[in-house]
Amino acid sequence: MLAYDFEYYLPDTLQEAFDIYTAVQNEGKHPFYYGGGTEIISMSRVFNLKPDAVIDIKNIPECSGIGTDGSRLIFGAASTLSAIQEADLFPLLSLAASRVADHTIQCKLTLGGNLAGTIIYHETLLPLLLADSTIEIFGSMGSRSVPIADVLSNGKKLAPGELIIRVNVDQQITNLKYFHIKKSKTEKIGYPLISLCAVYSGGDLRLAASGLSEYPFRFNSTKVKGSHSAADIAEQLAAQIPAPVLDDLEGSANYRLFIFKKTVEKIIIESKKNGGSSHA
């Protein structure tokens, strides 16, 4: 429950949702799209957010559903993190989703909310960056499909009023060896000191991180076979971090950087071994 009044809308179409958002904003009010509502409710209770209106997207057919068209995996923006885990079409995404908050929240928190919310970690973005996923968005010019890295990586955000419809993933990504390691200060469900996702194929390692800086990002693909040691490669990757390393109550910048390097070394060593994938 929230201790103040706000307007609630339940549109049936993308255009209706966008029109409501625009009309409310033109009145000088602050609208929010609403999927599971976990972030809106929790942040509003501590007065970090105060929406004048919420626009519930769960009745919009295009925003719902998880499936495949034969070559792509499709994840609707209104899909909950628990539903993504249960479908398990993209195991690395399922792992990332399973480490965001606890099970109760995962049953409400949506993919769109985790990708576009105000909390900085956006952990489900990491597997999608590694998969070179595309994201479908509805805005003033109608629907458009763009690489997810173009609109959500490295601190980028959607334009005001834009709404995530779904995310599309090339199904071939599920054939690659993958890793997911999250380190937090206390419990597994806490905010990450670092959260790393990686996929490995043909000697190339793709790596994406959350918790190191104020936004998630993907590193350049890296060759892990050759004369360089795992420690050397970890140092090279550390030099690519695009923003200052976070230094807060969760952990100091030096500690985060130390954990990052050691975790990368572990992933590199494991990637060279035969066998399946790992997470921790």
**Quick one: pLDDT at residue 218?**
97
**Quick one: pLDDT at residue 102?**
87
**Quick one: pLDDT at residue 237?**
96
Question: What confidence tens digit (pLDDT) does each residue in 55-77 have?
Answer: 999 999 999 999 999 999 999 99
**Quick one: pLDDT at residue 21?**
97
DSSP assignment string, the chain: --SS--EEE--SSHHHHHHHHHHHHHTT--EEEESS-HHHHHHHHTTS---SEEEE-TT-GGG--EEE-SSEEEEETT-BHHHHHHH-SSHHHHHHHHTSS-HHHHTT-BHHHHHHSSSS--TTHHHHHHTT-EEEEEETTEEEEEEHHHHHSTT--PPTT-EEEEEEEEGGGGGSEEEEEEEESSSTTSPEEEEEEEEEETTEEEEEEESSSSS-EEPPPEE-SSSS-HHHHHHHHHTT--SPPP-BTTB-HHHHHHHHHHHHHHHHHHHTSSS--EE-
**Quick one: pLDDT at residue 38?**
80
**Quick one: pLDDT at residue 240?**
96
Per-residue pLDDT of the chain (280 residues; tens, 9 = 90+): 566 788 999 999 999 999 999 999 999 999 999 998 887 777 666 666 788 999 999 999 999 999 999 999 999 999 999 999 999 999 999 999 999 988 898 999 999 999 999 899 999 999 999 999 999 999 999 999 999 999 999 999 999 999 999 999 999 999 999 999 999 887 666 789 999 999 998 889 999 999 999 999 999 999 987 768 999 999 999 999 999 999 998 899 999 999 999 999 999 999 888 655 666 6
Domains and CATH numbers, the chain: 1-173 (3.30.465.10), 176-279 (3.30.390.50)
